[in-house]
Amino acid sequence: MSTVTADRPARTGMSPRKRAQRMRMIQYVVLAAVLLVILFVADWPQIQKVFFRPDMIEATLKQGLPNALKNTIVYTIGAFVFGLVNGTILALMRLSSVAPYRWLSTIYIEFFRGLPAIVVLIAFGLLPLAFPGMLIPFDPYGTVWLALGLVASAYMAETIRAGIQAVPKGQIEAARSLGMPAGTATRKIVLPQAFRIVTPPLTNELILLVKDSSLAYILGLSGAAFELTKYGRDLANTNANLTPLVIAGFCYLLITLPLSIIVRRMEARQKKER
Amino acid sequence: MSASQLANREVVVDVVDLKKSFGDNEVLKGISGQIHRGEVICVIGPSGSGKSTLLRCLNLLEQPTGGNVFVEGVEVTDPDCDIDKVRADMGMVFQQFNLFPHLTVLENCTIGQMVVRKRSKSDAEAKARENLLRVGLADKEGAYPGQLSGGQQQRVAIARALSMDPELMLFDEPTSALDPELVGDVLSVMRKLASEGMTMFVVTHEMAFARDVADRVIFMDGGYIVEEGAPDQVIGNPQHQRTKTFLDRVLNPTKVGQIGAEDEAHAARHQSVPDADGDGDSRP
Ligand SMILES: Nc1ncnc2c1ncn2[C@@H]1O[C@H](COP(=O)(O)OP(=O)(O)O)[C@@H](O)[C@H]1O
Ligand SMILES: [Mg+2]
């Protein structure tokens, strides 16, 4: 068998390390070629005019951008807080010893995880029309909070349930053996630890909600209630220019990128602690 | 203290024909006995013999399937018993410490006092500091459990239990999860407690501790109390073959010619439901 091994380099004429080196070389060459083509083929002045027109940038920033940014944040936070409270209740129901609670929460979770958020949002937008006299408080904010929060809570419930179950059984035993009733042990001992475990995935949920808040446009918002997407899109439409949308997109990244970095930090720290 | 002295003492825990099964696996097959005030009882026996289960049945962390348990005259096996109130009077120390990792050492020792005993924060902290001093960790009150060694964590766990002013302390192999060099500090704390007159029920493999400190030693095997009595009697001069075999293994762990003997003994005891992870311990 040793002859085969000895033969191999002779056949290919290259050691494995050399071959890997050459593969890397080829990949760099391809990358450089593509970049060069883009650089020369693209119409840079036109691109700048469409995506980054200076006077459009100024107009976008000056008109309603701060208000739109604020609205995006308000829609998001409201939906997140409502989703968190509802999700915690659902998670506790999911773990309840009372079977009907478990069924109800399972049905809820499966129902809202299976629906597109936009459908729920449309439905809640129509409710006051369908039920004359019905009023959703803080409309349109309340409508967005309710609709997006209900959907988000289905996802959060599963995350929180997993977090609760990740708390070692010994913790509740220690709490109970001090004489704490079950509810107190859950509130004081289990939930604080569960929430520490689920902070990274819940922050991811917050990032998703930041982006989903853009669905609020479907409610036919008035100017004061515009969030980033609606605001950028309207300006872009009237001016047949993408600059406002680019700026809106940039604003989303301004919120989501730091959150992503925080999540990654927390995950790294938790991995180390374990 | 002598047996006659003990007999006159007040009964803290009374166990009557206690039985416990997990499914088809009958782990406790009828245990009876009493714990008197001020008494230190050490429970020894091979792994899987039901020691932890017995201890956990006393404060109802496991629900007994038969028999009665009375604590301070209150029947805890009565479904109408307010078990939280009884548990507050029984300190429990676990093999795995089970400190609350999200709370500081001081908070670990105050939370039960405040939530269960309804003490004010300042009262609770004073009591906690007093007990941290007792276990030699007064300087660690601001630390989190994760920053402490295993031995320190276990001493905090003892301080946490003591801060509730318990009538009785239960210990489930408190030194088994510790590195050998950390065992001594925990045992010293327990010795001190015993000398101060604390009522203690201790599951342990520390034979020297049992011999020196215990008023009574109970040897369990296969869900029964096989032998009990003064330490000199049970450890020094065991009467039953099973006790002799067990002590021989524990006291001469490196004696040749016995590899696998304990496995066989364990398998024989648990033919119906073999222990899943093989360590005979109830917790995962
Ligand atoms: N929660 C449980 N579910 C099923 N079996 C258990 C449980 N707890 C303990 N057991 C079984 O009971 C037996 C005795 O366990 P345990 O009381 O922990 O023994 P010891 O503490 O003496 O080692 C073992 O066979 C174990 O597998
Ligand atoms: Mg055990």
Interface contacts A/B by beta carbons within 8 Å: 62
CB A231 within 8 Å of CB A186: no
Lowest pLDDT segment from A73-87, B15-29, B123-137, B238-252: B238-252
Query: Taking the domains of chain A in order of start, what are their residue ranges?
Result: 68-273
Going by pLDDT thresholds of 50, 70 and 90, the confidence category of residue A14 is: confident
At B260 the pLDDT is: 63
- Backbone φ and ψ for A239, nearest 5 degrees, come out as -105, 0
3-state SS of A32-69?
HHHHHHHHHHCCHHHHHHHHCCHHHHHHHHHCCHHHHH
Of B152, B178, B109, the C-alpha closest to A174 is B109
Cα(A272)–Cα(A266) distance, integer angstroms: 10
Q: B29, B60, B281: which to mutate for ligand 1, most atoms within 8 A of CB?
A: B281
Categorize the per-residue pLDDT at B262 as very low, low, confident or very high, splitting at 50, 70 and 90: low
Nearest CA to ligand 1 atom 9: B282
> Within a 10 A sphere around the Cβ of A191, how many other Cβ atoms?
18
Q: Could A168 and B164 be called an inter-chain contact, meaning their C-beta atoms sit closer than 8 Å?
A: no
**B116, A178: Cβ pair inside 8 Å?**
yes
Measured from CB, residues less than 6 Å from any atom of ligand 1 are B 22, 25, 27, 45, 47-53, 270, 275, 280-282
Q: Report which residue type is found at B215.
A: D
Distance from the alpha carbon of residue B284 to the mean position of ligand 2, in angstroms: 11
pTM for the full predicted model? 0.80
Q: Which residue has the higher pLDDT, A120 or B260?
A: A120
A270 touches chain B (CB under 8 A): no
Nearest to A213 by CA among A72, A65, A70: A72
Min Cα separation A171/chain B (Å): 6
User: Is pLDDT larger for residue B175 or for residue A3?
Assistant: B175
The predicted structure's pLDDT at residue B155: 97
Of chain A, the percentage scoring pLDDT greater than 90 comes to 69
Name the residue of chain A whose CA is nearest to B117's CA. Answer: A179
Residues 6+ apart with CB under 8 A from B164: A178, A179, B88, B89, B91, B112, B113, B116, B117
More confidently predicted of B19 and A272: B19
Per-residue pLDDT at A108? 97
Could you tell me which residue, B200 or A6, shows the higher pLDDT? B200
- Residue B267 is predicted with a pLDDT of 66
Q: What per-residue confidence (pLDDT) applies to B257?
A: 57
Q: Distances in Å between the alpha carbon of A3 and those of A7, A16, A18, A133?
A: 6, 18, 22, 90
Among B19, B24, B27, which is best to mutate for testing ligand 1, by the most ligand atoms less than 8 A from CB? B27
Predicted confidence band at A73 (pLDDT cuts at 50, 70, 90)? very high
Tokens at A236, concatenated: 């872009």
Nearest-atom index, ligand 1, CA of B203? 21
Per-residue pLDDT of A99-154, as tens digits, reads 999 999 999 999 999 999 999 999 999 988 888 888 888 888 999 999 999 999 99
ipTM: 0.87
Question: Could you identify the residue written with the tokens 């890397």?
Answer: A24
Which range (A53-62, B38-47, B226-235) has the least confidence?
Answer: A53-62
| Strands of chain A, DSSP E | none
**Fold held by A68-273:** MetI-like fold (1.10.3720)
**pLDDT recorded at residue B273:** 46
Q: Quick one: pLDDT band at residue B268, thresholds 50, 70, 90?
A: low
- Give distance in angstroms: CA of A73 to centre of ligand 2: 53
**Closest ligand 1 atom, residue B173 Cα:** 21
Nearest to B94 among A174, A184, A189 (CB): A174
Give mean pLDDT, residues A91-99. Answer: 95
Is it the case that residue A183 has pLDDT exceeding 70? yes
- Ligand 1 geometric centre to CA of B110 (Å): 31
Percent of chain A with pLDDT strictly greater than 70: 95
Would you state the structure tokens that stand for residue A74, as one six-digit string?
């308000």
Exposure string for B166-177, b = 16+ CB within 10 A, e = fewer: bbbbbbbbbbee
Q: Is A231 left (phi over 0), alpha (psi -120 to 50) or beta?
A: alpha
- Tokens 């989703």 correspond to A83
Rounded average pLDDT over A83-90: 96
pLDDT, mean over chain B: 90
* Ligand 2 centroid distance, CA of B222 (Å): 13
Choose between A29 and B284: higher pLDDT.
A29
User: What integer pLDDT is reported at residue B282 of this predicted model?
Assistant: 40
Query: Which ligand is closest to the CA of B49, given by its number?
Result: 1
The end-to-end CA distance of chain B, in Å, is: 38
In this structure, what DSSP letter does residue A224 have?
G
pLDDT at B186: 96
Mark which residues 111-170 of A lie under 8 Å from B by CB: 168-170
Give the amino acid at B84.
D
Query: Measuring CA to CA, which residue among A142, A155, A157, A110 is closest to residue A219?
Result: A142
